[in-house]
């Protein structure tokens, strides 16, 4: 389907938009804009974009304590014809309203249709934690001399990861970053931690840190993840750095600065440096590889550049071997008409403005604009060789000079 793109807002000035069909789409448009509307041909609904999602017209937002909206009814909620809502009671095969379990029922933990309260849930969690290791965070040993950096109270099974700078001997045990300290007994607030165990992170404590020169054999170092610095030319494999450039270079070797300079000196030996004006006879200069600068009209061969004094018009058989000057090109264009509107009288909601077409042909282009702002306005325009007729919707008369029309042939 043919279409015309508008890159500006369209103000219809309260005129009707009749026989309009919304854009038909099988899915929401990409990069939709707030307020955009369309017709969904898949589910036959009209949608609009609210700034974050596509919403069907007539859609109610989810209801909240402060927002009037729609409520989605689940399978276990019944709605009577008068709007009365009732909820199914839960059973083993059907979810719905549930009751709070007694302490005995919560302890047994066998019922599937009753719920536990927070107190019962906390008791169940505490019971399940007996004999379990529970990760509680980290313990920084950088400045530690005892276990006071661990927040009390603690319970048996609480576990902390050792961080900071080590090794440190505390409580007769050597601690390294990456070890874990485990509480072997409960300690209340105000108590002192003394009974602990250690889970040794052997990798952190036993890893060898290389301080001297090392030789790597058959190893690949990924320079994207590692930094290689202070490379010298003698660090490269033999044959990679070359001190002379041969007639056929290789992509597996790198020449030194001196080798490149020597090759350039050899290649340019005997070349003539041209200074001043030179005359080239029967020579071809490739402008793709050479720069030709400061050309003027007089530098072209006689007859290549045609000027306005040559009487240049637009011939029926123009030549691709001739150029024209700017002034000569301006002679191609015909006269322009620029006319302001006279006082216009409204009739049946329309003001009609007739403009004399002095160009003498209907094959012209007309643009109507506001005289004060230069903004273009869309009108009903009929083109004729003698006159151009412009109609504007208006229930009142239009004063002279409000609009102007520009006609170009």
Give residue-wise pLDDT tens across range 79-93.
Answer: 888 888 887 766 666
At 309, is the pLDDT very low, low, confident or very high (cuts 50, 70, 90)? low
* Averaged confidence pLDDT in the chain: 82
Average the pLDDT over each of 15-19, 173-177, 315-319, 376-380 and give the range with the smallest value.
315-319
Average the pLDDT over each of 69-83, 136-150, 378-392 and give the range with the smallest value.
69-83
Of the candidates 53, 57, 34, the residue with the CA atom closest to the CA atom of residue 45: 57
Number of Cβ within a 10 Å radius of residue 106:
19
The H or E element spanning position 377 is: strand 376-377
Please name the residue ranges forming H helices in 194-320: 202-206, 257-267
Mean pLDDT is highest, among 62-76, 95-109, 178-192, 325-339, for 178-192
Tell me the average pLDDT across 13-19: 90
Of the candidates 400, 384, 388, 391, the residue with the CA atom closest to the CA atom of residue 355: 388
The H or E element spanning position 173 is: strand 173-175
At 376, is the pLDDT very low, low, confident or very high (cuts 50, 70, 90)? very high
At 274, is the pLDDT very low, low, confident or very high (cuts 50, 70, 90)? low
Q: How far is CA 226 from the centre of its chain?
A: 31
Of the candidates 55, 52, 26, the residue with the CA atom closest to the CA atom of residue 39: 26
151: tokens are 């927040």
131 or 209, which is more confident: 131
At 205, is the pLDDT very low, low, confident or very high (cuts 50, 70, 90)? very low
Nearest-angstrom CA–CA distance, 129 and 158: 10
At 370, is the pLDDT very low, low, confident or very high (cuts 50, 70, 90)? very high
Q: Is residue 184 over pLDDT 80?
A: yes
Nearest-angstrom CA–CA distance, 223 and 277: 54
């Amino acid at each position: 389907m043919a279409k015309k793109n508008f890159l500006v807002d369209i103000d219809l000035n309260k005129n009707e938009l009749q026989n309009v069909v919304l854009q038909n789409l099988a899915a929401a448009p990409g990069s939709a804009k707030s307020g955009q509307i369309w017709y969904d041909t898949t589910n036959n609904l009209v949608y609009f974009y609210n700034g974050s999602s596509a919403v069907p017209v007539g859609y109610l937002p989810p209801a909240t304590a402060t927002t009037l909206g729609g409520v989605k009814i689940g399978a276990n909620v019944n709605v009577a014809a008068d709007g009365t809502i009732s909820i199914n009671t839960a059973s083993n095969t059907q979810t719905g309203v549930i009751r709070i379990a007694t302490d005995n029922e919560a302890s047994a933990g066998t019922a599937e249709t009753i719920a536990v309260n927070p107190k019962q849930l906390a008791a169940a969690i505490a019971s399940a934690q007996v004999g379990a290791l529970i990760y509680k965070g980290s313990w920084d040993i950088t400045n530690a001399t005892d276990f006071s950096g661990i927040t009390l109270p603690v319970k048996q099974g609480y576990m902390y990861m050792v961080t900071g700078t080590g090794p440190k001997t505390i409580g007769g045990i050597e601690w390294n970053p990456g070890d874990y300290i485990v509480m072997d007994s409960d300690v209340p607030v105000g108590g002192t931690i003394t009974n602990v165990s250690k889970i040794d992170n052997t990798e952190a404590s036993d890893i060898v840190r290389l301080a001297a020169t090392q030789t790597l054999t058959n190893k690949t170092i990924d320079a994207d993840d590692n930094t290689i610095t202070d490379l010298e030319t003698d660090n490269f494999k033999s044959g990679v750095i070359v001190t002379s450039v041969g007639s056929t270079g290789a992509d597996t070797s790198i020449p030194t600065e001196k080798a490149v300079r020597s090759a350039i000196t050899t290649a340019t030996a005997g070349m003539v440096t041209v200074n001043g004006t030179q005359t080239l006879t029967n020579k071809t200069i490739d402008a793709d590889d050479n720069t030709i600068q400061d050309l003027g009209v007089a530098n072209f061969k006689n007859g290549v550049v045609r000027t306005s004094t040559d009487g240049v018009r637009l011939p029926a058989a123009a030549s691709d071997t001739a150029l024209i000057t700017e002034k000569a090109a301006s002679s191609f264009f015909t006269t322009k008409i620029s006319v302001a509107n006279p006082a216009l009288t409204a009739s049946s909601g329309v003001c009609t403005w007739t403009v004399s077409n002095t160009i003498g042909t209907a094959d012209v282009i007309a643009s109507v604009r506001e005289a004060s702002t230069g903004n273009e306005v869309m009108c009903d325009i009929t083109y004729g060789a003698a006159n151009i007729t412009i109609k504007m919707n208006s229930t009142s008369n239009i004063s002279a000079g409000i609009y102007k029309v520009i006609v170009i042939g």
